[in-house]
A = this chain, B = another copy of it.
Amino acid sequence: MADNTEGRTELSSLGEFALIDRLTDDFPLRNASSFKGVGDDCAVIGTGDMKTVVTTQTMAEGVHFDMTYTPLRHLGYKAVAIALSNVAAMNARPRQVLVSLAVSNRYSLEALEELYAGIRLCCDRYDVDLVGGDTSSSRSGMVITVTAVGEVAEKKIAYRSGARLHDLICVSGDLGSAYSGLLVLQREKVTFQVDPNFQPHLESYDYVLERYLKPEPRLDIVDLLDKHAIVPSAMIDVSDGLASELLHLCKQSGCGCEVYEERLPIDYQTSRVCSEMSKNMLPVSNALNGGEDFELLFTIHQSDYEKIKELNEIHIIGHITEEGSPAVMVTPQNTTIQLRAQGWQGNE
């Protein structure tokens, strides 16, 4: 395929987000019930005080998951979990999901039952109802799209665009562990391909593997914030890595940010995996660019500092800077590094 055919712009030449901006920039909102359209973790719908949030998320075989090391039950769980994570990122509670599945005949009924067992498990865990969807065949592989519906009071919605100068930047849980889990699985796959008698030793990687294979939406954080009467000024979930999400928040809030490397929460297994993989692999790179942690990244007003500082699982990693400033990370050596996002990860 020619890369430079006249009049042809390769998707790989755009970032994923530039592509979405380009495709969706000419869609005005006409209906009174369309409260917030494209550009956040969920759309917001409704005319009353309680709003409905809706989001849709696709996972494609060979891109978002590799069947050689993804148990179908985990896949079903994860597909629902990441859609619920989008609902959590609006400071909302999920209530319903719809699952659309395109699968080739390579999959058996028993395989799909495993997938649905995982879907059921995640629905049970988060009190969410499966209310619809469709199932059709695909030419090859599996594509699973989950639509999640949730609800939230209008005054509690956390958009990406609400961060203000001097707000504190917080993140839940830890960062980079899901990507470390993926690295371990990819290493085992290569070893297995070289020696099919190889038995994987995964016991000491249980935490990072679970983070990758079975992520949890941080609805407990939504509850925790609510219990302490904190409404984040802005929020997003960490699906593409901290750097990418910080850039979204800053762009949409019209501000800059400063985060401190030594404040980033990184689990010891994440660090150990990095040191095993290569002497040049830094845990902080996994945290910034690894993705799929599905933690919540949010900002709060300084006046909420006293309320948040004692909460387990929430880490204050920096603060919002003024409009026109870049998004930067300050290292322990006091060097300032400008944050950059990853590009489109395409496949032929």
Contact B131 A37 (CB under 8 A): yes
Within the complex, the shortest CB–CB distance from A139 to chain B, in Å, comes to 3
B residues in contact with A112, CB < 8 Å: 11, 19, 23
- Chain B nearest CB: distance from A13 CB in Å? 8
A116: chain B residues within 8 A (beta carbon): 23-24
Copies of the protein in its oligomer? 2
Decide if A331 is an interface residue (CB 8 Å cutoff).
Answer: no
Which of B1, B30, B56, B128 touches A132 (beta carbons < 8 Å)? B56
Which residue in B10, B63, B100, B113 is a CB contact (below 8 Å) of A57?
A: B100
Q: Most B CB atoms within 10 A — which of A23, A98, A345?
A: A23
Name 30 A/B residue pairs within 8 A (Cβ), A-sorted.
A1-B106, A11-B103, A11-B108, A11-B109, A11-B112, A14-B109, A19-B109, A19-B112, A20-B134, A36-B131, A37-B131, A38-B130, A38-B131, A43-B98, A43-B132, A45-B131, A54-B96, A55-B132, A56-B147, A58-B100, A58-B102, A60-B137, A60-B138, A60-B139, A62-B138, A105-B346, A105-B348, A138-B347, A139-B140, A139-B141
Q: How far is the CA of A161 from the CA of B11 in the complex (A)?
A: 46
Q: Are A127 and B30 in contact (CB under 8 A)?
A: yes
A137 and B345 within 8 A (CB): yes
Q: Is the CB of B64 within 8 A of A136?
A: yes
Bound Cα distance from A96 to B45, whole angstroms: 9
Q: Would you call A287 an interface residue if the criterion is a C-beta within 8 Å of the partner chain's C-beta atoms?
A: no
In the complex, residue of chain B having the shortest beta-carbon distance to the beta carbon of A107? B11
SS class, residues of chain A in contact with chain B? mixed
**Contacting pair B98 A11 (CB below 8 A):** no
Q: What per-residue 1/0 map shows which CB atoms of A8-19 lie under 8 Å from chain B?
A: 111111101001
Q: Contact check, A98 vs B55: say whether CB atoms are below 8 A apart.
A: yes
Contact assessment for B132 and A347 in the assembled complex, using a CB-CB cutoff below 8 Å: no
Contact across chains for A135 and B19 when beta carbons are under 8 A apart: yes
In the assembled complex, how far is the CB of residue A316 from the closest CB belonging to chain B, in whole angstroms? 30
